[in-house]
Amino acid sequence: MKILLVFDFDNTIIDDNSDTWIVQCAPDKKLPIELQDSYQKGFWTEFMGRVFKYLGDEGVRENEMKRAVTSIPFTQGMVELFNFIRKNKDKFDCIIISDSNSVFIDWVLEAANFLDIFAEVFTNPAAFDSNGHLTVENYHAHSCNSCPKNLCKNVVLVEFVEKQLQQGVNYTQIVYIGDGGNDVCPVTFLKKNDVAMPRKGYTLQKTLSRMSQNLEPMESSIVVWSSGVEIISHLQFLIKE
């Protein structure tokens, strides 16, 4: 019987947003105003497609982008957390559900030698085309009204848990570790035994706090964290129970 650990990536595993970090590869480390202004709410992935095309057109190559992305620092205590999980592989399964992209996440995990920690990574698929431009696609289509159109993390989580169940894997509980507005949807669907772990001072924590003040029901328990070391402490508590 294992616990399922669900991680967000940007501002959770790494201590920044990989999509905005990559802008430092642009000339003068900024995007043209018309490109910045082309973003429409809910269509971030399409916007990043245009950013990657612009970087490619400006001659920014894969190795330069990789150097930038792999220099993003891990959030405090994350390295220790992953080492703890690796030592307790029999007790946890880990997945990532992220609105970043597959290339960036692979680069970061591979450079730090943490790819083996994760059973699956669910994110927007990306690849370099024949011109050396990074291209990115929406992860899926869904009918949830509260999520960006390219990714509902709750749909992904529910599908993963059901698929595992069909293969005879039943999790005792889910621990969801995240920070952002797009983590609200999956967290509100967690059950009584599950744990929502929002990062202190970020959108998810502020939203959950507002919901509890409005007495909106949440079945799961909520444990706020600032460092991966605090997550270790709570996981140690859960596996002792």
Has 179 been labeled as part of a binding site?
Answer: yes
Cα separation, 190 vs 197, whole angstroms: 11
Using an 8 Å Cβ cutoff, are 136 and 99 in contact?
no
Cα separation, 158 vs 78, whole angstroms: 25
Has 129 been labeled as part of a binding site?
Answer: no
Catalytic residue among 8, 93, 183, 194: 8
Has 116 been labeled as part of a binding site?
Answer: no
Has 99 been labeled as part of a binding site?
Answer: yes
Task: Give yes or no: 8 in active site.
Answer: yes
- Which of 216, 200, 229, 189 lies closest to 6 in space, CA to CA? 189
Has 16 been labeled as part of a binding site?
Answer: no
Residue in the structure block whose two tokens are 């990062």:
199
Task: Give yes or no: 10 in active site.
Answer: yes
What is the crossing angle of helices 62-69 and 102-111, to 10°? Answer: 60
Catalytic residue among 10, 93, 183, 194: 10
Q: In what order do the strands lie in the sheet with 120-124?
A: 120-124, 92-101, 3-7, 173-178, 195-198, 221-222
Q: What is the helix (H) or strand (E) element at residue 213, kind and residue range?
A: helix 203-213
Residue numbers in the known binding site for Mg(2+) are 8, 10, 179
Q: So which residues are the catalytic ones?
A: 8, 10
Q: What residues are designated binding site for substrate?
A: 19, 99
